[in-house]
Every structure is written in structure tokens, then in C-alpha cells.
């Protein structure tokens, strides 16, 4: 199983509540459009540490090929356009378990 985890911080000039709701809808909605997503969850952070990120995406894929296909899928690219417009930074980890 391939685990794909992404964390973002939302731009200061954005309404975090609206952005978090929209990110959750757009990203979790990909499961209905991209068959090889096994699990996809989006959560907002409640930790007030300066090192914490605002939002996290956790997803699972059966193979690396499935993850690679997800990355280039048109629905993912469309969601990514919105994500890039509202976040200021991104951290990603992919690992196999």
C-alpha cells in the first residue's frame, strides 16, 4: 500500500474556514472521479504550534503506478489549480507499507 500525505498552510489573506471546507469538498470528491484512490481524507489542524500546518491530505493507493496516475489525472490537476491558488507552502511524503 502506498501512503501519500500532503500538508499545506493557507495564505494569510484567505478565509481559512471557507478554504478548508472547499479543500475538503474538492479533494475528497476525487474519490468519486479517480477509481484507484483507495482512501482519501482531508483534515484541518487544531494544533497551535508554529511548526504546524493548516490542513492535511491523507490518501492510499495500491501501487506506485496508481499514485503516479493520480498525480497526472485531469481531475487531480483541476483540484490542484484551486489548491495552489489558496496555499502558501506545501510539504509531501510518499511511502510504501
> Which residues 6+ apart lie within 8 Å of 42 measured at CB?
23, 24, 27, 28, 55, 56, 57, 58
Q: What are the residue ranges spanned by the domains of the chain?
A: 2-55+62-96
Q: What is the pTM of this model?
A: 0.93
The per-residue pLDDT for 65 is 98
**Domain 2-55+62-96, what fold?**
Alpha-Beta Plaits (3.30.70)
At 17-65, the pLDDT tens digits run: 999 999 999 999 999 999 999 999 999 999 989 899 999 999 999 999 9
Q: How confident is the model at residue 84 (pLDDT cuts 50, 70, 90)?
A: very high
Residues paired with residue 9 on neighbouring β-strands, in sequence order: 89
> Which residues 6+ apart lie within 8 Å of 31 measured at CB?
37, 40
Angle between helices 16-28 and 74-86 (to 10 degrees): 170
Q: How confident is the model at residue 81 (pLDDT cuts 50, 70, 90)?
A: very high
Amino acid at each position: 500500500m502506498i501512503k501519500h500525505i500532503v500538508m499545506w498552510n493557507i495564505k494569510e489573506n484567505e478565509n481559512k474556514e471557507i478554504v478548508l471546507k472547499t479543500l475538503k469538498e474538492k479533494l475528497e470528491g476525487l474519490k468519486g472521479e479517480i477509481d484507484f484512490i483507495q482512501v482519501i481524507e482531508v483534515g484541518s489542524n487544531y494544533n497551535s504550534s508554529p511548526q504546524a500546518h493548516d490542513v492535511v491530505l491523507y490518501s492510499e493507493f495500491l501501487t506506485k503506478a496508481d499514485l503516479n496516475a493520480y498525480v497526472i489525472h485531469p481531475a487531480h490537476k483541476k483540484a490542484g489549480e484551486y489548491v495552489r491558488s489558496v496555499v502558501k507552502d506545501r510539504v509531501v511524503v510518499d511511502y510504501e507499507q
